[in-house]
Structure 1
């Protein structure tokens, strides 16, 4: 009996998965570090003023 010693069948699938993971990591690194989406970047002034009307409880009967 002849044995298949090339072993390229399983390695091709593994290489495809590892390559895909490297592409995902590269995209995430570009978004976080390249475009300033991570820490740092522009500062934003968030000034919120909330004015709510005064709410009183309804009158209870018998008082």
Structure 2
């Protein structure tokens, strides 16, 4: 009986790629859920909008 005695060298490359994907996902999850260690800066947003009064044009022959 002939048995396959390969050590699975092809699977080592796949395991390396999957490990890299897991590390990248862990880094992305850290920045998404923990805020990446960055403290948000508080900003005072004070907006004052003054617009001129808009009137409809008068119709010809109207009052």
| The two structures share one fold, judged by TM-score above 0.5 | yes
Q: Which has the larger radius of gyration?
A: 2
TM (normalized to structure 1)? Answer: 0.60
TM-score normalised per structure 2: 0.60
Say what the alpha-carbon RMSD is for the aligned residues.
2.6
Distance 1:23 1:2 in 2: 38
Structure 1: 5+ residue runs without aligned partners? none
Alignment of 1:2-21 (within 5 A): 2-21=3-22
Q: How many residues align?
A: 59
